Amino acid sequence: MTKDLLNHHLITERYFFPRLGDLDDPYWVDCGDARLACCYHEVDPTAKTLIHFHGNGEIVDDYLGDFVALIAHMGCNCLLAELRGYGLSSGRAELGRMLDDVVPLVESLAQPEQQLIFFGRSVGSIFAIEAAARFPGAAGLILESGVADVRERLLLRVTPTELGVTPAEFDVVVDRYLNHQQKLASYQGPVLVLHTRHDGLVDVSHGQRLYQWAAGKKRMQIFPRGNHNDIMYVNSREYFSLVSEFVRST
């Protein structure tokens, strides 16, 4: 079985929830069969760059303003990465191709990987972890409300039979391309895991597993308040203090 299984239309239709955007002057990334409408804010060409992968149902537009300003205040450039099929990006939200988009997106910056910090929120953690595995010399990895077991999340929406494969064949593909334990083992840099104890969408056990699997220096914060979609807002002071401390220490 090949990665094409991850591009099955049922995964696209049931797992991803793209929205249109209205981004002014996008930072375009050419991925061959799709163009990603990202946003890049530079404070200093010699500074580190945080590459942010947003969650499902979100788009780059949602992070313009305060988020970018706070990252800039940390002395860090910020690339808000858009997903194919989301915002003004072309293409369809096909998981296998979205994984492949990570490399051209990162390489578009033409910056040493030691200058890059990957940040993945929720579904975006899939692509941030892929980035860390592909660019293991990166300065840091932040996972907020992240997904440890992608197989578990996909099986909430589809069955292997619907995809035309056996459960064993499905497992082979997911383990080959979406094994987060293996990917994190290949990344030795610092990792910050943020999650809420009462996350009703991606259980806190996902954050705990991601932390356990991180191979290098790591820190985890489980917030007692907030849920999956308001973790940043409910805990904003401590949240950005932790991110700032992490960014400055890389």
Beta bridge partners of 142: 119, 192
What domains appear along the chain, each with residue ranges and CATH number? 3-249 (3.40.50.1820)
Structure tokens at 240: 């950005």
Q: What is the pLDDT along the chain (250 residues), one digit of tens a residue?
A: 689 999 999 999 999 999 999 999 999 999 999 999 999 999 999 999 999 999 999 999 999 999 999 999 999 999 999 999 999 999 999 999 999 999 999 999 999 999 999 999 999 999 999 999 999 999 999 999 999 999 999 999 999 999 999 999 999 999 999 999 999 999 999 999 999 999 999 999 999 999 999 999 999 999 999 999 999 999 999 999 999 999 999 9
Using DSSP bridges, classify how beta strands 35-41 and 27-30 pair: parallel, antiparallel or unpaired: antiparallel
Do residues 14 and 158 touch, judged by C-beta distance below 8 A? yes
Beta bridge partners of 195: 222
- For the chain, give the number of residues: 250
First to last CA, the chain: 39
Q: Hey, is 193 helix, strand or coil? A: strand
Residues near 69 by beta carbon (within 8 Å), at least 6 away in sequence: none
Report which of 74, 82, 88 is spatially closest to residue 51, judged by C-alpha positions: 82
